[in-house]
Amino acid sequence: MCREKKQTFSAGKKIFLGCVATSVLVMGTAVLHGKETVENEVVNTQITENAFSEKVQDLMRFLSGDTDSFAYKREGRTDPFMPFVSETEVATDEEIPVEELYGMRKFEPGQLSLVAIVLTEEGPLAMVQDSVGKGYVIRNGTEIGRAGTVDKISDNVVVVKQRYTTTAGEERYSFVEMLLKKEGEK
């Protein structure tokens, strides 16, 4: 009696055979893909070598004097003499009108020196002097400079209120004090 022997594989053998079969499949596809990559690299190398050799040949012809003089081809290039950064004008909503200044508006408060303060029935008066020595009389509300007005005249100080606009467009005020110097002070 012939007994047939059944071959049974253990779990370890099954896993081993599965790994071998998978690795054979992966290696086969990698080899095929590698051949295609090598063929593509060869074609790309030939193209760059041809382009390189054409450039070298053109240069050799130019250096030997076989070709005409150099001609600059401007297509696709920027102007080398144009600046990289260009200035743009920023338009403001509020334009400052250019007007001719007269009287006390010709002077900013820093250009004047306070000489005297007189208290009268009609209100306080102050006398200021420019750099040349010419004197001017000012009262409350007198315009000084482009955007300043005399806000207050007291015993020893004149306060000038100057209007300015911030970059955000808000209108603000700054106050400049002109002090009366005592006799003998500089």
Domain coordinates in residue numbering, the chain: 10-90, 103-179
- Tell me which fold the domain 103-179 belongs to: SH3 type barrels. (2.30.30)
Round to whole Å and give the CA distance between 108 and 98. Answer: 17
* Token reading at 129: 């002097």
* Token reading at 75: 């297509």
pTM of the model: 0.46
- Residue 159 pLDDT level (bands cut at 50, 70, 90): very high
Indicate if the pLDDT at residue 161 is higher than 90: yes
Residue among 154, 174, 155, 156 at smallest CA distance from 165: 174
Are 159 and 175 contacting, i.e. CB atoms less than 8 angstroms apart?
A: yes
Residue among 150, 155, 152, 151 at smallest CA distance from 119: 155
Give the Å distances, CA to CA, from 19 to 7, 23, 25, 72, 83: 20, 6, 10, 64, 65
Residue among 185, 182, 174 at smallest CA distance from 149: 174
Lowest-confidence region among 23-27, 39-43, 66-70, 102-106: 39-43
**Of residues 9 and 179, more confidently modeled:** 179
- Residue 135 forms beta bridges with which residues? 129
Are 143 and 153 contacting, i.e. CB atoms less than 8 angstroms apart?
A: no
Residues 62-83, mean pLDDT to the nearest whole number: 76
Indicate if the pLDDT at residue 30 is higher than 80: no
Mean pLDDT over the full length of the chain: 77
Residues 155-167, mean pLDDT to the nearest whole number: 89
Q: What percent of the chain has pLDDT over 70?
A: 70
The angle at the Cα of 74, spanning 68 to 79, to the nearest 5 degrees, equals 130
Q: What percent of the chain has pLDDT over 90?
A: 10
